[in-house]
Amino acid sequence: MRGETSPQAFGALPDGREVTVHTLSDPGGLVLRVLDLGATVQALHVPDSTGATTNLALGHPDATGYTAPPEAFLGAVVGRYANRIAGAGFPLDDVLVELAANEGGNTLHGGPEGFHRRLWRTVAAAPDRLTLELISPHGDQGFPGELTVTATYRVRGHTVTLDLDARTDAPTVASLASHLYLNLAGEGAGTIEDHRLTVTADSYLPVDDHGLPTGALTPVAGTPLDLTTPARLGDRMRAEHPDITAVGGIDHSFHLRGAGLRRAARLEHPASGRSVELFTDQPALQVYTGNALDGTITG
């Protein structure tokens, strides 16, 4: 797979538009496959101690899987606004902005036609990097202002970098995020229950059964959401705690320590010896344990 650096066809959307997959690679063996549909990570092949590569990212084998319901946002860059906006609206400069709803009465990950459903334009492509661009017009899903977004993926050594940039011509809100699912056991080799997760956060936002925040930041100490030391996910996902049972697992925003680019989380799979570290310059990290993945979506 290391020689596959040119774009390839990946199927078509229901309206006939073609989807393209770009393959980025590093001589060390890491291979990243990215779609122009949703700037989506379709696969992440990582070498093990023997040199064999295994896919660790949840994805679909062709474009059809990404457009068929139910939506799981596998690997996509979601926006304009990641997570949920209650009541599909918000005040901006004393004006109520009304949005398109796609989860009950709320707006999830930008709305029914969010960035995960768009074909992004390829700005630059090289064997180890890819820049995609999306222009979201004023009024898109109800959001004000034209927003120009770029997503740049890079692979180098054992590192994958995603840089997101957004620029607007009017006051608006924007919160972009990668919706990449990782299973360090490898494709078809088990669940995430035996993974161990560490998050450098001392507080989190409680949520209701719709996944909406219910109040102020709450200390993680003494709760199953204390991930300050390595925690087995299977134990925490099934803990008897109101903030866990509300959403059937972990789907919470953790307020990170420090500022600037720093390590926010470490995920480990002891049986395979694989681990991944996540760095960010953002103040918070959403941790989601795939609670809605009940087996009806296959990749």
Q: What is the pLDDT of residue 2?
A: 42
pLDDT at residue 257 tops 90: yes
Between CA 88 and CA 187 the distance in angstroms is 36
Tens of pLDDT along 9-36? 999 999 999 999 999 999 888 999 999 9
Q: Please say if the pLDDT value at position 242 is more than 90.
A: yes
Contact between 36 and 122 under an 8 Å Cβ cutoff? The reply is yes
Query: Which residues pair with residue 280 across a beta bridge?
Result: 262
Least confident of 74-78, 92-96, 272-276: 272-276
pLDDT of residue 5: 53
pLDDT digits (tens, 9 = 90+) for 211-233: 999 988 999 999 999 999 999 99
Please say if the pLDDT value at position 100 is more than 60. Answer: yes
Sign of the Cα torsion 287, 290, 212, 224 reads negative
**Tokens linked to 184:** 């360090």
Instruction: Say if CB 79 and CB 110 are below 8 A apart.
Output: yes
Mean pLDDT in residue range 172-185: 94
Q: Where are the domains of the chain?
A: 8-178, 196-288
90 or 72, greater pLDDT: 90
Instruction: Read off the tokens for 202.
Output: 């001392």
Mean pLDDT for 75-98 is 96
What is the rounded average pLDDT for all residues in the chain? 93
- Mean pLDDT for 79-85 is 95
pTM over the 0.85 mark: yes
Strand stretches in 121-273, DSSP E = 121-126, 129-136, 147-156, 159-168, 177-178, 196-199, 201-204, 218-219, 231-232, 251-256, 262-269
What does the pLDDT read at residue 59?
94
pLDDT grade for 1, boundaries at 50, 70 and 90 = very low
93 Cβ neighbours under 8 A, 6+ residues apart: 171
CATH of 8-178, one of 3.40.710.10, 2.70.98.10, 3.50.30.60, 3.30.390.50: 2.70.98.10
Query: What percent of the chain clears pLDDT 70, i.e. is strictly above it?
Result: 98
Residues 112-146 pLDDT 10s:
999 999 999 999 999 999 999 999 999 999 999 99
